[in-house]
Each structure stands twice: as structure tokens, then as C-alpha cells.
Structure 1
């Protein structure tokens, strides 16, 4: 085979290969997503969408059968019920905070009462010990006659 004919054949084969690759690339990127039908039935993927919240829809941001990406905002829900619930929760929180403050105040008051009572108990114990010592001394001094029986009886009664 002559060289010019061989060169033409190689050029033709290369161009035919490039054309086939370009057509395949076009089909891969665009054509495979297009569908045609003779009976008006098209295969498609439709996904049901629902909310985890119980609320009315305020606005729909997409059209029927519109292609959307994952995570795209589809609709806006009414938030009046949620705002009311948040206000109620804040009011309840303020109420509980006030109750906590009141309980802390009562705790501080009770702590001071406990401290005062403990001081009174200590004073009473000191008075008791003093009275027991006085009684012991009076009983010891009663036998020799240094303290009267009446004084011993008075100390025992105290």
C-alpha cells in the first residue's frame, strides 16, 4: 500500500475513533438522562417528602416534579406554634429559676437557724455541766455540814 493512502486511512480511522468517543461522551453526560417513549410513560424517580414536625406549610419553594439536590430547602413551615411553645418554655424556665432562688434563700435561712440552734445547744450543755459540777461540790460539802440540805435540793432541781 502506498504511503499517502496509508496515511489517509490512518487519518480516517483516527477521526472515526474521535467521533465515536465524542458521541459516546455526549451520550454519557447528556443523552442517558433523556427518555423518549411511544406510549407516554416515562420512567422516573419520584420521592415522597415529609416533615418530622407537625406544622402548616407557609410557602412551597419548588414546582411539581422539579429536580432538587439533597439538602435543598423545599418549603417554609409556619412557626407561630413553635414561637408560642418557646415563649411558654422560657416562662416556665423563669418560674423554675425563681423557685430555685427561693429555695436557696430558704436554705441560707435554715442554715443560719441551725447554726443558732447549735450555739444554743452548746450553751445549754455548758450550763448543764456547770450545774452538775455545782451539785457534785454541794453534795460533797453537805456531809461535813458546810452546805445546807436546801441548797443541795435546789441545785439538784436545777
Structure 2
């Protein structure tokens, strides 16, 4: 079931790469580990669960951004960069099925958007409430989509 939220803008520490969407599940765990180690060595504690956000590129590839929310912007250093998750209204939905069925969760958001007179504003992201391991990204994933409501 979709839930509407008002989110604050959130500074993040991320690792970025360009890949095809099907490669994301293999890349997320190692990227999370790199960012976590980077933060640990600098004494920075994450303020939430790891996430992945993809920006669709014209050629069909995606720019993937994987990392953790942090309390304040970090300086750019090596493979880890500062970024932000946008603030404002958003709709969130839980995905608890196997990762390969996550497209069904995105379809549920699309149906909700169509029935609630709202539109997506920007790229969605996935929050991994089971910490990713080398083998998988987890089964408790929250999908967050920034939105705006259509005025009547």
C-alpha cells in the first residue's frame, strides 16, 4: 500500500557508476561496502539505511548512485561523493518479495499516481532495510518516488 510523506532534503554519501539496470543488483552490495568503509574511516555515522537511485540516460543505460544518508554534506574524496536525496512530497511503498519482482512494486506506484492525480517529479530510489550482502540486496526494500499533486 502506498503512503504519502513529506520528506526533508537529505545529504548523502554515494558511489556512482554507469551501467544497465539489470546490473544494479550485482553492483549495490559492493558499492554500499565501499561507502560504509569510507564513512567508518572518517568517523561519519550514516543516519539511515543504504539506498540506490538511478538516473535514466538517453542511451538506455543508467547512472546509479548508491550510498547512505548522512547528517551533513561530506567532502568529495576518492570514490565517494556528496549528493542529496530531494525533499518534498513523496509516495513510498514496501517491496517484500524477491528482488527480481521489484518491477511489480514500481507498477503499483504508477497505478497509485494515475488514481490519485499525482505525477512523479524526479527519479525514485530504493531503501534497503536488510543490509545488502555480497549475495543479495535484501528482501525488505522501500521504494520512494518524489511526487507533486495535480491541481484541479
Normalising by the smaller structure, the TM-score range is under 0.3
The TM-score with structure 2 as length reference comes to: 0.14
Which structure shows the higher strand fraction? 2
Q: Which of the pair is proportionally richer in helix?
A: 1
Say which one has the larger Rg: 1
Which is bigger in relative contact order (C-alpha 8 A, separation at least 6)?
A: 2
